[in-house]
């Protein structure tokens, strides 16, 4: 007996044969590294309590790549280039002192249609903001060396150029005074660590839409 998982892409519905349905689980994803060729939709790997290591994919990206291969094999010509420039993908700036958090979030957001810049701490994030493009969204960890997320937020809200920049804070304290302080300083929302990839995408899409 096999199970058939129905997944909807942007253009069709697909049936995926699966060996087992495990149900919803909270896992810690390790971002893929040192891949000679990027794998469409691969979000990372996750270890099960049994010790089994599973690959975790974004179904929409996998199916999109599959449909593109099908069109190529059928000999369909590529659509003529548009006379209009392709819309620029929204830019998200992520500031977090954890390398694994930055890599995983960057891979997830890039595979979902966003451009991503990263910073190791609040000071580097402030320098990036002052000297580059204003992003569509800033995601900043509260606890960082050199300059923490609250001080970064305080400086941004005191600068006219960044007063309307949407900011999401990352915190380990879901209902603590630090989280409320971030909202009082002008953050639009906060995510509590550890968060799932779906939670991160949901909060990003709440403030930023891809073209």
Q: Are 109 and 89 in contact (CB under 8 A)?
A: no
pLDDT surpassing 80 at residue 54: yes
pLDDT recorded at residue 34: 66
Q: How far is CA 14 from the centre of its chain?
A: 24
Average confidence (pLDDT) over 7-27: 80
pLDDT recorded at residue 82: 52
Average confidence (pLDDT) over 7-18: 80
pLDDT surpassing 60 at residue 79: no
Average confidence (pLDDT) over 75-84: 54
Q: Are 77 and 66 in contact (CB under 8 A)?
A: no
Q: Are 41 and 65 in contact (CB under 8 A)?
A: yes
Angle between helices 177-185 and 149-157 (to 10 degrees): 20
Least confident residue range of 66-75, 123-132, 139-148, 167-176: 66-75
Percent of the chain with pLDDT over 90: 28
Structural domains in the chain plus CATH codes = 25-75 (no CATH), 91-207 (3.40.50.2300)
- Give the global pTM: 0.63
């Amino acid at each position: 007996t096999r199970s058939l998982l129905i997944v909807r892409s942007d253009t069709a519905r697909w049936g995926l044969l699966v060996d087992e349905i495990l149900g919803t689980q909270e896992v810690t994803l390790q971002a893929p590294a040192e891949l000679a060729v990027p794998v469409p939709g691969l979000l990372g790997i996750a270890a099960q309590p049994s010790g089994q290591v599973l690959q975790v994919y974004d179904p929409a990206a996998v199916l999109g790549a599959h449909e593109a291969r099908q069109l190529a094999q059928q000999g369909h010509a590529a659509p003529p280039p548009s006379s209009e420039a392709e819309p620029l993908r929204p830019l998200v700036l992520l500031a977090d002192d954890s390398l694994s958090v930055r890599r995983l979030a960057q891979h997830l957001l890039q595979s979902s249609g966003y451009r991503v810049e990263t910073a190791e701490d609040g000071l580097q994030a402030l320098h990036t903001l002052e000297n580059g493009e204003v992003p569509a969204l800033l995601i900043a960890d509260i606890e960082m060396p050199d300059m923490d997320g609250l001080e970064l937020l305080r400086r941004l809200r005191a600068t006219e150029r960044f007063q309307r920049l949407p900011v999401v804070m990352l915190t380990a304290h879901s209902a603590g005074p630090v989280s409320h302080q971030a909202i009082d300083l002008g953050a639009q929302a906060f995510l509590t660590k550890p968060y799932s990839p779906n939670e991160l995408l949901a909060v990003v899409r709440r403030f930023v839409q891809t073209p």
